[in-house]
Amino acid sequence: MTQSVLIVDDEFGLADITAELLTEAGYDVALAINGKLGLASLATRRADIVITDLMMPVMDGPELIRRIRADPKLAQIRTILMTALPEAVPTGDAAMHDAVLVKPFSFVELLATIHRLLPPA
Amino acid sequence: MGRVDTGIPGLDTILNGGLFQGGVYIVEGAPGTGKTILGNQICFHRAARGDSTIYITLLAESHTRLIAHLRGMAFFRPELVASAIYYISAFKVLEEAGLDGLQKSVQDAVTARKATFVVLDGLVSAEEFAPSARDFKKFIHGLQTISGMTGCTVVMLSSTERAAGFRPEHTMVDGLIELSDVVVGVQSLRHVLVRKMRGTPQLRGRHALEISSAGIRIRPRIETLLRSPDEDDPAPREIAQADFGVVGLDAMLRGGLPGGSNTVVLGPSGSGKTMLGLQFLSAGIRHEGVGLYVGFYERPASLLAKGNRLGLGLDEARANGLLHLFWEAPIEGVLDAVVERVLRAVVDQRVTRLCFDGLHGFRHHAEYPERTRAVFSALADELTRRGVTTLFTLETSDLVGSGIEIPIDGVSSLADNILLLRHVELRSQLYRLISILKVRDRAYDGAIREFQITDRGLIVADTFDSAEQILTGAARTVTAEPEPAR
């Protein structure tokens, strides 16, 4: 079964390009522009992994991940938090993500991180 | 209405205290003029003051790059980001839901984060998505409603690559600040201009804007900062005459220069202007005063050596904090920064005598030479108000001869007193002459006298005889043993 990815980012450009590259790499990719819309997408469409930006309007990345973890139907989804500001990544108990990607990152780094969390089928 | 200081050095001064809480402002400028740095610097300042701030980008510029560039700035504090400063991109919202969607998104973000300060970077994009000028005005009006209801101050950054001119949104906002970068000769100069600011006076006109790793700093035009003299000003307090400690010269001045006055010393290169200045400071120090020397050409070490040759004891005075030396290389710089530094030293060090050596060097710091006169006038007035007796030297172009050309227009009319130094060539010998052209409201001896620079200081002849002989071509051989100063 094709593995599916949800990319959540408010920023123009990066999300679209990442989505294209992941589609070419064989993933089934969906996009959302904030955490709230990301959750809405998960309600109707399965995802094996969520790659989310940290700072976003309406609902930010850490809050989206917290809600995923709190929902038994979603809790098993692997999560990657991406940010240009590693200092702002939640630590300790607040850190519910599986991995962090510091922007700017290469596609190779992104794929390696995805493969680590979700071995290719 | 409360004021919101921007924390940008100089900007709050020209805005007379900052922005107004709940106001909506536009900062306009071509790409590269510093809008983004300005917006971020204010956010970091407000965040450090406890505000919740949001930086919304409408451009296709990535936050990754933005943050990478900001990391090099001294004001960047990563611990404030994602908490007190929140970066969001609204380009997609704008693309998908238009101006209504953007307005809703701003409103939601302000409410959710209880924001008190918002920067909207890329107003041009919002305009591009406006179906009509009317819709764009409606959007601006919507932002005003949000800011009015929440007390949140909004600064919109807009690039002006499009044709400048009247913009309908300019009439709506509370203030309009323009940033520019112009080339004058080979020099690039950044400026800020407050075009409009509701509810408060402002320092009008262009002011220099500097960008460094410390962020933006604005240098208000110094002449707009200093209080202009008023006809109702009280008569200046009586300050003791400022002598030179040179018998002949002090006699010509009937004791010395009027205390608190300004004197322009004119003379060609090598005529002894700097020596006269050092002598003047040294005499002040002997009276327990504090002297400040500001120069553009000679470095402090070379000046001190010069002073030592005259036996002026400058090293000791400097060590005792009675003499301060400033050296400003005559390269591109901002005139206002030089004057600000001088005035700060005058106040901090309680300076009583100032030698400003090289008004012509001052001109190198003037982005616009025509400003020199206005700045000189403001500086001279301020020094008089502070009771400082000042000597400004100004180089004239003629090396030898009787013609005088004053290189800065209007300086002579602004000067209280004018001294003239000259070289006269006679039978292969150069002679130095000094004369007084003007002393405001005081009697003086207008005769031309010979003066010499010796290892015992300056010596001015007691009588005009020698000068007369030089000028009439009847000079004797120069005296081997000049009469020492008494």
Closest CA in chain B for residue A56: B88
CA distance A96 to B351: 63
Burial of B208 (0-12, 13-18, 19+ CB in 10 A): buried
Peptide bond into A104 cis (omega under 30): yes
The shortest CB-CB distance from B89 to any of A10, A58, A88 is to A10
User: Pairing between strand B291-295 and B262-267?
Assistant: unpaired
Average pLDDT over residues B85-104: 91
Q: What percent of chain B has pLDDT over 70?
A: 88
Check pLDDT > 90 for residue A4: yes
Instruction: Spell out which residues of chain A touch residue B83, defining contact as CB-CB under 8 Å.
Output: 88
The shortest CB-CB distance from B78 to any of A10, A56, A85 is to A85
Quick: pLDDT tens for A59-88. 999 999 999 999 999 999 999 999 988 988
CA distance A78 to A75: 8
Sorting pLDDT into bands at 50, 70 and 90, what band is B41? Answer: very high
Quick: pLDDT tens for B213-237. 999 999 888 888 876 666 666 666 6
Quick: pLDDT tens for B400-453. 555 556 666 677 778 999 999 988 877 777 888 899 999 988 889 988 899 988
Instruction: Spell out which residues of chain B touch residue A31, defining contact as CB-CB under 8 Å.
Output: none
Check pLDDT > 50 for residue B351: yes
pLDDT of residue B364: 66
CA distance B231 to B237: 16
B258 DSSP assignment: P
For the four alpha carbons of B65, B79, A68 and A115, in that order, the dihedral sign comes to positive
- Say yes or no for a CB contact (<8 Å) between B60 and A12: yes
Which two structure tokens, joined as six digits, stand for B418?
């004018």
- Say yes or no for a CB contact (<8 Å) between B91 and A11: yes
The shortest CB-CB distance from B82 to any of A14, A33, A55 is to A55
For residue B30, how many other CB atoms are within 10 A of its CB? 15
Quick: pLDDT tens for A92-105. 888 899 999 998 88
- Alpha carbon distances (Å) from B381 to B259, B292, B434, B436: 13, 17, 26, 21
- Say yes or no for a CB contact (<8 Å) between A55 and B88: yes
CA distance B159 to B460: 63
Distance in Å, alpha carbon of B94 to nearest chain A alpha carbon: 11
Residue A58 is which amino acid?
A: V
Which two structure tokens, joined as six digits, stand for B188?
């690039």
Residue B354's contacts (CB-CB under 8 Å, 6 or more residues apart) are B291, B292, B293, B294, B342, B346, B383, B388, B389, B390, B391
pLDDT of residue B461: 85
- Residues 68-127 on B with a CB inside 8 Å of A are 68, 78-79, 81-83, 86-93, 95-96, 105, 108-109, 112
**Beta carbon pairs, A and B, within 8 Å:** 66
3-state DSSP assignment of residue A55: coil
CA distance B264 to B372: 14
- Alpha carbon distances (Å) from B464 to B295, B317, B327, B460: 32, 34, 36, 10
B475 DSSP assignment: -
pLDDT of residue B354: 96
Indicate which of A7, A8, A9, A10 best probes the interface with B, i.e. most B CBs within 10 Å of its own CB. Answer: A10
**Nearest of B154, B459, B62 to residue A9 by alpha carbon:** B62
Distance in Å, alpha carbon of A21 to nearest chain B alpha carbon: 18
Kindly provide the ipTM of the predicted complex, given to two decimals.
0.74
- Say yes or no for a CB contact (<8 Å) between B81 and A33: no
Average pLDDT over residues B346-353: 93
Closest CA in chain A for residue B80: A88
- Say yes or no for a CB contact (<8 Å) between A87 and B67: no
Quick: pLDDT tens for A18-58. 898 999 999 999 999 999 999 999 999 999 999 999 999 88
For residue B214, how many other CB atoms are within 10 A of its CB? 12
Residue-by-residue DSSP string for B324-342? EEEE--SSS--HHHHHHHH
**Nearest of A38, A66, A63, A70 to residue A51 by alpha carbon:** A38
The alpha carbon of A116 is separated from its chain's Cα centroid by a whole number of angstroms, namely: 14
Angle at B266 between CA B306 and CA B428, to 5 degrees: 70
pLDDT of residue B87: 93
- Say yes or no for a CB contact (<8 Å) between B64 and A13: no
The partner residues of B55 in beta bridges, in order of sequence, read B87, B119
Instruction: Spell out which residues of chain B touch residue A54, defining contact as CB-CB under 8 Å.
Output: 82
Check pLDDT > 80 for residue B30: yes
Indicate which of A12, A17, A33, A81 best probes the interface with B, i.e. most B CBs within 10 Å of its own CB. Answer: A12
Closest CA in chain B for residue A58: B109
Distance in Å, alpha carbon of B411 to nearest chain A alpha carbon: 56
The count of C-alpha atoms lying within 13 angstroms of the C-alpha of B344, restricted to the half-sphere facing its C-beta, is: 8
Instruction: Spell out which residues of chain B touch residue A57, defining contact as CB-CB under 8 Å.
Output: 88, 90, 93, 105, 108-109, 112
Residue B338's contacts (CB-CB under 8 Å, 6 or more residues apart) are B294, B328, B362, B365
Sorting pLDDT into bands at 50, 70 and 90, what band is B377? Answer: confident
Residues of A with CB under 8 A from a CB of B: 10-14, 33, 54-58, 60, 83-85, 87-88, 103-104
The shortest CB-CB distance from B81 to any of A14, A58, A88 is to A88
**Nearest of B363, B351, B360 to residue B326 by alpha carbon:** B351
CA distance A4 to B341: 63
CA distance A120 to B139: 48
- For the entire predicted model, the pTM comes to 0.76
Residue-by-residue DSSP string for B148-161? HHH--EEEEEEE--
- As a whole number, the mean pLDDT across chain B is 86
- Say yes or no for a CB contact (<8 Å) between B64 and A58: no
